[in-house]
Each structure stands twice: as structure tokens, then as C-alpha cells.
Amino acid sequence: MLRKNVLRRKKDFDLIYRNGKSVGDRYIVLFYRKNGMKYSRTAFLASKKVGNSVKRNRARRLMKESLRLSDYRLVEGYDYIFIARNTINGVKCQDVSRSVASAVKRAEVIKGEKVR
């Protein structure tokens, strides 16, 4: 069964790229746009500029993990696309976490503190 919180359709990606906003940081670029739903959808991308399949998959895993371990939640009702830059190669998870946090804070899409 497909998860509803993952972006899949090309039409959705095109809308975000065309009508959404973007924030760049050292290791990632964040595109975001309101989607009119009660839940958020996310996508984690790494192009061939990042490297071979091993490097691209590691870049996606780093972005997902840094978002999962963060002390905040993203605002519901948005579509998010996290894109890895080629500078992400050979970087530790802590550095990627700082980059993701910086981009999300500048985009002002933080809901609040996560309960631990």
C-alpha cells in the first residue's frame, strides 16, 4: 500500500517547482508549497550530479535521518522537496542536520518543538 505522505506524481513536482518557494543551504535545497490538504507530503531527491547510486542513496538517507532526528515538526498542509547538492558527498550526518535545520528555519515552516 502506498503511503499518502510521499510525493510521487510529476504534476505535483512541477507545481512546486513552478509556484512554490525555495530556500538553499550548503548541502541541500528546499522547495515548498501549500497543498490544501490536512497532511504534508515530502520527497527527497539526489540527482546524478551527486554521484553514483551509492552516493545518491546515502544523500537521501542522510536527509531523511536528519529530518527524523530533528527537534521540530514541519507545518502540516505543505508539500516539501529536499534536494541534495553535490557538496553533500563525504559529509557527516550532523552537518547535514544543521543544513536541513537552517533551511527549514529560513523557510519558516516549523510547527514547534517535538515532545520527547
Q: Which CATH class is domain 10-111?
A: alpha beta
Cell of 25: 543551504
Q: What is the pTM of this model?
A: 0.91
Neighbouring-strand partners of residue 61? none
Task: Quick: pLDDT tens for 46-65.
Answer: 999 999 999 999 999 999 99
> Are the CB atoms for 8 and 44 separated by under 8 Å?
no
CA atoms within 13 A on the CB side of 22: 14
> Are the CB atoms for 81 and 32 separated by under 8 Å?
yes
Cell of 7: 510525493
CA distances from residue 6 to 13, 40, 50, 88 in whole angstroms, order as listed? 11, 8, 22, 22
Task: Quick: pLDDT tens for 11-41.
Answer: 999 999 999 999 999 999 999 999 999 999 9
